[in-house]
Amino acid sequence: MKQNSSLLDRCLPHPFVSVMVAVTWLMLGHSAELFDFTVAILLGLIIPKLIQPFIVRTPNIHWKHAVKLFFVVLWDIIISNIRVATQVLGPTQNLHPKWYRVPLDTDHEHVNTLLAMIITTTPGTVSAGIDQERGDILVHALHSDDPENEIQDIKARYEAPLMMIFNVQQGESA
């Protein structure tokens, strides 16, 4: 821990975790009595302090870009669910599954991990792994007539915003 950290940083090393612990306690207790609030506050102070060595500080992110990306991914998940449902329920000979590699513009750990997660959570695509040596992500698509177009779509819709969220330049690493 830093020598010159503030009292607030020492008491609340992870404010988000503190709030989540307190809210979870209140929700599990199904009660809003003074005792439950007191226990929630104490747990919210004690538990994050105990687990402080195991939690890595979240990097500074641009929240405006993060919220925008959240809604882009949410929209894509909804549209992909509909598209995959029609593809799966339709004739299977119309499916054109493909494997392709999405080249990465950075080796920043957070950007690449989140990109792989977004690809996997969007129905119809699965990321099979990040190849750090090759600098790409192996992706399987349930249906793809134009893998190159899908690669450019992934890079524009997800990778570029992730790089803006973490303020990462092309070729930069974590």
- Give dist(CA 1, CA 52) in Å, integer: 10
- Please count the CA atoms within 13 angstroms of the CA of 62 that sit on its side-chain side: 13
Average pLDDT over residues 31-38: 90
* 34 — pLDDT class (breaks 50, 70, 90): very high
The helix (run of H) or strand (run of E) holding residue 129 is strand 125-131
- Give dist(CA 94, CA 98) in Å, integer: 13
Alpha helices in the chain (DSSP H): 7-11, 15-29, 34-51, 63-89, 109-121, 147-154, 160-165
* 14 — pLDDT class (breaks 50, 70, 90): confident
Specify the pLDDT at position 169: 86
pLDDT, greater one: 127 or 115 = 115
* 1 — pLDDT class (breaks 50, 70, 90): very low
* 32 — pLDDT class (breaks 50, 70, 90): confident
pLDDT tens digit sequence for 45-87:
898 888 888 877 667 788 899 999 999 999 999 999 999 999 9
- Give dist(CA 172, CA 144) in Å, integer: 30
